Structure 1
């Protein structure tokens, strides 16, 4: 209440909507809903009894995959062509010459790869060493450079946990390269270009400067990187990794920036796991300037960044459902980004399995 007895607005108590300048959309924040009781679906706890090596697991060293190929006895990161790709390079030409604006089709070509992070199945990135994570980052860079010579977009992404649709517990991620710009990237490209034209600086560099000034949503930082909960975050404990230098693509990172990235990834993922003392599930991915033909165009409006979208809301077994209003109207969240950032900051720096 103010001095006149009128109720004053509190971001942590009252509903409001927040603008996402990267995607030109809004998210509804309803913090008062955190007080409601939960009687909905409860997920299974993450499995902790995954064997170190399983000869029937197609991602393990020496295992035979569905196409008959036997994996080498790899001892660090291992990348190979996806046995069941969503995109193929040998798609035939489309002979549809229709100019109907309601029925448009364009050929889609691409390549899908898989990257195994580690030879052991019972380990994840927060339990790996900085040196091992650095090997993963180097492989991300190698794949991006190689595929980026041919394709206009290279999407690095990881789905972690069965709750996020991961069908194999072995630590791995995927790389999908495409001839076209996917929807999320096309919108981010337009919005970052508009911001640079109007304000003269990249959107995410201006944004990071302001976040580092207030530190209200900052989770962890080092000399070259910051991890924060975005002001416009949709998922309960969503985070973004941003470089402190204007970097457009992951292959532009210096050796020092790569080392610091490995360290800050491990730190932030340990905080995730410690939050509910479980192997924290998420979908994550990197977005940077497009590749292929875009190497010859001005992409100075782009800033490299990674996004983590974890579904857990209240505990290791209660997740956020994106249904109903979220599907038909707009994204909605209960926990405020500031509350989420505080809880992550307060989470221990020592992994709960190693205390």
Structure 2
């Protein structure tokens, strides 16, 4: 009988964060990026766009005017997915098929820079550090509100990810409940911590560093890696080496190192196909429910959809929608490629 080889044979991998499996089919695409890099038409944007509702001094869709901001700028989303209004509601304990409940929350937009023409990897480290400090302030500010129990910081980069405005920005959705995936993560992290007395990601990161198969970036305070259970072709995760539960626990040195990691990783992404690499990214950290959460370990997910080129996207359809997530290129192969890429943004090489 043939011996199993995870580089060649179909297999499933377990994700302990959310207690789910992913099907890996490496024989379908051993090294799909070979010969696949391509030049694409680069969109040239001005430093300031008078028609952009996120640029400094411009009027937004609701008629409010942005200040002439020179660093990060945060405002309540004009088209918020969540509302602060408290509603009267009586739950029917006998309801099963048509169960619903109101959800309170606050949605904010975070402009990373006044420059309309930049993306995160093209910004200098000081600007990215300001973004991190803004995330810290917003997490703490929103977390103090009595009905807010979870603060989700995220960025959708690129039109392919549904981003409606190219100005560099992210969002924060703070709400009264733990979202479904966060609840699943919370339950698994808690169970692991109670059993082992350490965070799940602390032990996982220790073993990943020993194996050194999926590491992309490794500095004093952070590691960026392709998770063993990654779903998206070039999915990565940033994990703090120190098991802190939230972004406000970072020291000034860690803030600086985190900014360096963000710049280096996103630059590597852009260098894959010499294009502005789209992704959805988000921070996972402790709930803001006024309880201690030693089981939480700060980490940040990056989910880019591109697969073979700057224009070929990985779709989650068919089997993925009906069965479970599936990928062809192994996490080890995508980590190998990302690790080999320069940390200097391809545009900066021409300067």
Q: 1:80 to 1:326 in 2, by over 3 A?
A: same
| 1:349 aligned residue | 343
Match of 2:138 among 140, 143, 156: 143
Q: Give 5+ residue unaligned stretches, structure 2.
A: 33-38
Q: How many residues align?
A: 342
Q: Give 5+ residue unaligned stretches, structure 1.
A: 1-5, 38-43
TM-score by length of 1: 0.93
| 2:155 aligned residue | 158
The alignment status of 1:99 with 2:111, answered yes or no, reads no
The alignment status of 1:108 with 2:106, answered yes or no, reads no
Q: Secondary structure at the match of 1:136?
A: helix
TM-score by length of 2: 0.94
| 2:25 aligned residue | 30
Q: Runs of at least 4 residues of structure 1 off by over 4 A? A: 44-47
| 1:207 aligned residue | 204
The alignment status of 1:329 with 2:323, answered yes or no, reads yes
Q: Secondary structure at the match of 1:270?
A: helix
Question: How many Å apart are 1:47 and its aligned residue?
Answer: 5.0
Q: 1:133 to 1:46 in 2, by over 3 A?
A: farther
| 1:279 aligned residue | 276
The CA distance in 1 between the partners of 2:274 and 2:11, in whole Å, is: 31
The answer to whether the Cα contact below 8 Å between 2:53 and 2:60 also exists between their aligned partners in 1 is yes
The CA distance in 2 between the partners of 1:209 and 1:97, in whole Å, is: 47
Question: How many Å apart are 1:101 and its aligned residue?
Answer: 2.7
The alignment status of 1:339 with 2:333, answered yes or no, reads yes
| 1:119 aligned residue | 114
The answer to whether the Cα contact below 8 Å between 1:203 and 1:301 also exists between their aligned partners in 2 is yes
The CA distance in 2 between the partners of 1:353 and 1:239, in whole Å, is: 22
Question: How many Å apart are 1:51 and its aligned residue?
Answer: 2.0
| 2:36 aligned residue | none
The alignment yields a C-alpha RMSD, in angstroms, of 1.7
Give a deviation string over 1:251-299, Cα, whole Å, max 9, x none. Answer: 11111100100011111111111011110100000010100xx22x231
Q: Secondary structure at the match of 1:132?
A: helix
The CA distance in 2 between the partners of 1:187 and 1:232, in whole Å, is: 16
The answer to whether the Cα contact below 8 Å between 2:31 and 2:329 also exists between their aligned partners in 1 is no
